[in-house]
Structure formats: structure tokens, C-alpha cells
């Protein structure tokens, strides 16, 4: 099959009409069109007070491009422009807009949650205030730990700019589609897995504006056949930006797990992450201290390379649970790089037990009904 070209996409979009009846290509609403390996990405800019009318245009544009020979997938974001000083008012039913009254409870066994994903019981975000603290490695091993506790688990790689879950789980290839436009998640060690890394080449830079990130996350959440899951673990990008706000708007997160190293610099950023989740009314399920200490494999000497106990003290100070300490160890690093996370590749080892113990504490919180709330309405001013 011949790969589709940018000119072919533009030609197809000439047949898509804007709300005023003019061709989409002639009204200055299209962003640059990115085509890579049969995958097409672009955004449409619309006035903020006409988003509902333009959502139909977005869907028509997506359907038109999907019908081209050589197109493997299409991602179209709708960007609403707001005049300076004017608050953006999302339409009823749109992400961030007024929502129907929530139904109580999430429930295990795949019970649908209010405003959540049908069949998915609990959604947990694993986040960090900064990069380089081992958040993705922790997310993957926690997901596997929950799996070992008998739960049906999926993992969503929400780090659009630096997806690492495919490498950590050694899952490669392209997801299949079902029903014409829904993706089937990949399988990694018994986990259902979805990542933008499956849809773009590893070396392709993701130079996306915030609205495109939000659109991509929404599609990976709602246009994937997740099936029946007890828990979905979401590997968040580091920081406090569009991805976190999108998750807070789109689904009722049961809570967030914050990963930090013991050093003061990392803890400063961890505080920001905790404050952000609290700001959008997402419960913080606890803090994990990663790279907590180093135990020399040759002589057995312990070294607190990044300090020790900082995350525990921070958890106590902020009144959130401390979930556990994960050491800095060569086995964890080597097995992660090889796509063989320690919980799966060395299930009887000491490090697998550490992650399973943390997973058990999370499971207990979910079983106790702690955490969870209806998705908040968030209005962002330009």
C-alpha cells in the first residue's frame, strides 16, 4: 500500500465544508498537516463561541481523511481561540463543559464509573513533578504488581512527548482496529497497553500544541476497546500541564500516585504535583520514594546517594500516605532497558516484592473506597 501524501490529504479536505458552507481548506482554519508512516495529524482552529458547530466539521474531516488509501490512522484536534480576557466556556457535554449529575461509586469488576470509561473500575494516575525520577518504571511495575494481586489491569502511556511504556514492556507493532475506527490495545505481560509510541516512529518528534495533546489523550482513552478492567494505570508526563488537566477533565480519577527521589530538588517539584492534583480535586493516594538508597552488590555497603527519607517526611508533612521505598539498583535499570520489568522477569526477587507491597497498599485504598470524585468543570482563561 502506497503511503498517503500531504497533498492528497489537502485535496480530500477540500470537500469538507465549514459551518458557513465554505471549503475547510479555504478559510484559514487548518494547521500544518503532518503525515508520517500513514498516520495523519492536524488541527482545526475555531472561534471559542462556535465550538459545537465546529466539532461536526472536525469529525467530517477525520472521516474524510480516514477514507484515503494508505491512511493508517487520523488524529484531528479542535483548537478554540479565545479573545484576550474572555473566559472560555466549553459547550454542554464537551470536555470541561457542564456535565450530567454523576452516578455514585466506581466499583470493582469493571463497573462503569460516573463520566468514566465503561467497563473500567478505577483509574489511577502515576505522576511526578519532574522527569528523571523513574516514574514510568514505577508505573509499569505497579501495574504488574496489581496484576499479580489478581486484578485486571490496563496501562495508558499518557506521556505524549516521551512515550516509554512500549520500551519498558518490549511491546512493538501497530494496534489493530475494530469497528472501523476503534483501536485494540496491545498486550504486555498480561496488561492491556496503549501508547502514542505505537502510532508514531520512535524518533519522530512530537511538536504539538496543547490542544493536540488533549485530543490525542482523549482518543486514547475513549476510542480504545479497553474491555473489562479493574484498574487502569496512567503513566503521566512529568510536570503540571495539559495532560494532567485533560485527565482531570475527562475522567474521574480515583487518585494520583506521586513518584519522587529523596533529594530536596525533586521534592520541591513533587510538592507542585501534589498541589496541582489537589487543586483539581484529585485525591493523592500516596508518595513513592524511588532511588531511595543504593546497596553495593559487591560489599553490601549502603549509600544514600540522593539522601534518604525525604519523600516519607514530605508525605507526613502533607498528610498523604507514604507508599514505600524503591532502591537504586542495577537489576531494575537493566531489566527496564531490556523490556523485562522486575515484577514480571524476577517475580520472586526482593525488588518485585517491594513493588507488589506498594501495589497492595494501593489496592487496599481502592477497596476502602478512598479517593474518587466526579470530574470537575475546569474553565481556563486565556
Residue 97 in any domain: the answer is no
Mean pLDDT of 308-314: 76
Residue 290 in any domain: the answer is yes
Is the same domain home to 227 and 363?
yes
Instruction: Tell me the H-state helices in the chain.
Output: 6-13, 51-66, 135-148, 165-169, 210-222, 242-250, 264-279, 310-318, 330-337, 342-345, 350-367
Average pLDDT in the chain: 78
Find out whether 127 and 254 touch, Cβ atoms under 8 Å: no
Is the same domain home to 307 and 244?
yes
The confidence band for 373, taking pLDDT boundaries of 50, 70 and 90, is very low
Is the same domain home to 345 and 292?
yes
CATH number at residue 169: 3.40.50.300
**pLDDT exceeds 50 at position 104:** no
Highest averaged pLDDT of the listed ranges 21-30, 83-92, 228-237, 247-256: 228-237
Pairing of strands 284-295, 302-303: antiparallel
Going by the DSSP 8-state scheme, the letter that residue 163 receives in this structure is -
Res 249: pLDDT = 64
Pick the last residue of a domain from 33, 59, 81: 81
Is the same domain home to 283 and 337?
yes
Is the same domain home to 267 and 159?
yes
Q: Write out pLDDT tens, residues 37-54.
A: 788 878 787 776 777 788
Pick the last residue of a domain from 81, 109, 129: 81
Is the same domain home to 124 and 73?
no
CATH number at residue 48: 3.30.300.130
Mean pLDDT of 299-322: 77
Is the same domain home to 293 and 164?
yes
Position with higher pLDDT, 104 vs 31? 31
**pLDDT exceeds 50 at position 342:** yes
**pLDDT exceeds 80 at position 245:** no
Is the same domain home to 226 and 134?
yes
Overall domain count for the chain: 2
**What is residue 277's three-state secondary structure?**
helix
Q: Write out pLDDT tens, residues 164-201.
A: 999 999 998 888 888 767 889 999 999 999 998 887 76
Q: Which domain holds residue 53?
A: 6-81
Lookup result for grid cell 542495577: 330
**What is residue 331's three-state secondary structure?**
helix
Write out the DSSP string of 225-248. ---SEEEEEEEPPSSSSHHHHHHH
**pLDDT exceeds 80 at position 369:** no
Q: Write out pLDDT tens, residues 139-174.
A: 999 999 999 999 999 999 988 878 899 999 999 888
Is the same domain home to 217 and 159?
yes
Is the same domain home to 176 and 265?
yes
Percent helix, strand and coil across the chain, each rounded to 5? 35, 25, 45
Residue 114 in any domain: the answer is no
Q: Where are the beta strands (DSSP E) in 18-162?
A: 34-36, 39-47, 73-81, 120-127, 153-157
Residue 195 in any domain: the answer is yes
End-to-end CA distance of the chain: 44
Pick the last residue of a domain from 30, 50, 81: 81
Residue 109 in any domain: the answer is no
Residue 282 in any domain: the answer is yes
Q: Distance between CA 10 and CA 282 in Å, rounded?
A: 41
Amino acid at each position: 500500500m502506497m503511503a498517503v501524501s500531504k497533498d492528497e490529504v489537502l485535496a480530500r479536505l477540500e470537500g469538507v465544508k465549514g459551518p458557513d458552507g465554505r471549503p475547510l481548506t479555504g478559510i484559514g482554519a487548518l494547521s500544518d498537516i503532518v503525515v508520517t508512516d500513514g498516520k495523519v495529524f492536524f488541527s482545526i482552529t475555531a472561534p471559542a463561541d462556535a465550538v459545537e458547530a465546529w466539532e461536526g466539521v472536525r469529525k467530517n474531516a477525520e472521516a474524510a481523511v480516514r477514507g484515503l488509501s494508505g491512511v493508517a490512522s487520523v488524529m484531528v484536534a479542535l483548537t478554540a481561540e479565545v479573545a484576550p480576557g474572555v473566559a472560555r466556556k466549553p459547550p454542554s457535554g464537551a470536555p470541561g463543559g457542564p456535565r450530567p449529575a454523576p452516578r455514585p461509586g466506581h466499583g470493582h469488576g469493571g463497573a462503569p464509573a460516573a463520566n468514566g470509561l465503561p467497563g473500567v473500575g478505577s483509574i489511577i494516575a502515576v505522576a511526578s513533578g519532574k522527569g528523571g525520577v523513574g516514574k514510568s518504571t514505577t508505573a509499569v511495575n505497579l501495574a504488574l504488581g496489581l496484576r499479580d494481586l489478581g486484578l485486571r489491569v490496563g496501562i495508558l502511556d499518557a506521556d505524549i512527548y516521551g512515550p516509554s511504556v512500549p520500551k519498558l514492556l518490549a511491546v512493538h507493532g501497530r494496534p489493530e482496529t475494530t469497528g472501523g475506527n476503534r483501536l485494540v490495545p496491545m498486550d504486555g505481560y498480561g496488561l492491556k497497553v496503549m501508547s502514542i509510541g505505537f502510532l508514531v516512529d520512535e524518533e519522530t518528534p512530537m511538536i504539538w500544541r496543547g490542544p493536540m495533546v488533549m485530543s490525542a489523550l482523549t482518543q486514547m482513552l475513549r476510542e480504545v476497546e479497553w474491555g473489562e478492567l479493574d484498574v487502569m494505570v496512567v503513566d503521566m508526563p512529568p510536570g503540571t500541564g495539559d495532560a494532567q488537566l485533560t485527565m482531570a477533565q475527562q475522567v474521574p480519577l480515583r487518585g494520583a500516585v506521586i513518584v519522587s527521589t529523596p533529594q530536596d530538588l525533586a521534592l520541591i517539584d513533587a510538592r507542585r504535583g501534589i498541589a496541582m492534583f489537589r487543586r483539581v480535586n484529585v485525591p493523592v493516594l500516596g508518595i513513592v520514594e524511588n532511588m531511595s538508597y543504593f546497596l553495593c552488590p559487591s560489599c553490601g555497603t549502603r549509600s544514600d546517594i540522593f539522601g534518604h527519607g525525604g519523600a516519607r517526611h514530605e508525605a507526613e508533612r502533607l498528610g498523604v500516605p507514604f507508599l514505600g521505598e524503591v532502591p537504586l539498583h542495577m537489576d531494575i535499570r537493566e531489566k527496564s532497558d531490556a523490556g523485562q520489568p522486575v515484577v514480571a522477569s524476577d517475580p520472586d526477587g526482593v525488588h518485585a516484592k517491594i513493588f507488589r507491597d506498594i501495589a497492595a497498599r494501593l489496592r487496599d485504598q481502592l477497596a476502602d473506597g478512598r479517593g474518587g470524585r466526579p470530574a470537575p468543570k475546569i474553565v481556563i482563561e486565556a
